[in-house]
Amino acid sequence: MKDNNNRWILAAQCPSRLGTVDVVTRFLKESRCYITEQHSFDDRLSGRFFIRTEFKPEAEGFDAEAFQAEFAARAAEFEMSFELTAPGTRMPVVIMVSKADHCLNDLLYRYRIGQLPIEIRAIVSNHPDLADLAEWHGIPYHHFPITPETKPEQEAQVWQVVQESGAELVILARYMQVLSSDMCEKLSGRAINIHHSLLPGFKGARPYHQAYEKGVKLVGATAHYINDDLDEGPIITQGVEPVSHADYPEDLVAKGRDVECLTLARAVALHVERRVFLHAKRTVVFDR
């Protein structure tokens, strides 16, 4: 795992214009900051430019507030919006889950060993089944049952947890409920869902049995931001696993679980490391 203890992250975007890379790199040089990683992309169809830079200050006493104020003055010429992230930042998150525990278990393990730079503030579920798992990790567990009639009240409880916990990201780790339009709007750009297939395909109940009946040769998973179109939010990452005629539905389920875990964890890591830019209905992803 890469050592990011002294790496700052500057993520920015603006209209495509001559000098967009230069305004970032020149300012960092003048500020005595050494670039350790850089990615950029110019979307010629939309005329939008994206850049992500990791750097380490070479001078003692790096002043983040002064850096941002001075860079903002330079960036204004390019209508550039940006975000500066300090080394060691751990994004506060809330995880939502139903009964399936594989994605939650995987996230908790990666969190416990320090692989994911997150701080899990709470776990929310519409079932009580995973309360002991949360308790073992010392994480508050909120059981909010839901019915079609109580959905508005239940989502109000969920939103209260998100607000009071200070969560900047909500992870739907196999939360088997459709969020309302209001909730999707509140969580726009900061809620990641894992879907049990390569979207679009095999939607609805028993997806692996549908796949088995069709004789598929791949199972997959899709991690995406939620929006008001069911399972059609901007895609962050996808994963696949080969299967064959010798794999039965239970084998597809087992392989699918593994792909879901890896795909969701990768999407979370990309998001918290500021490697994902929302771009209309798509994403720009600067992978590691």
- Return the active site residues: 231
- Euclidean distance between CA atoms 121 and 92, whole angstroms: 6
3-state secondary structure of 201: coil
Q: Which of 62, 75, 61 is nearest to 11 (CA)?
A: 75
Count each helix (H run) and each strand (E run) in the chain, helices first.
Answer: 8, 13
Closest CA to 196 of 213, 210, 179, 214: 210
DSSP secondary structure letters along 74-133: HHGGGT-EEEEE-TT--EEEEEEE-S--HHHHHHHHHHHTT-S-EEEEEEEESSSTTHHH
Buried b (16+ CB within 10 A) or exposed e, 247-268: beeeebbebbbebbbbbbbbbb
Which value, in Å, is the radius of gyration of the alpha carbons in the chain? 21
**With 0-12 CB in 10 A as exposed, 13-18 as middle and 19+ as buried, what is 5?**
exposed
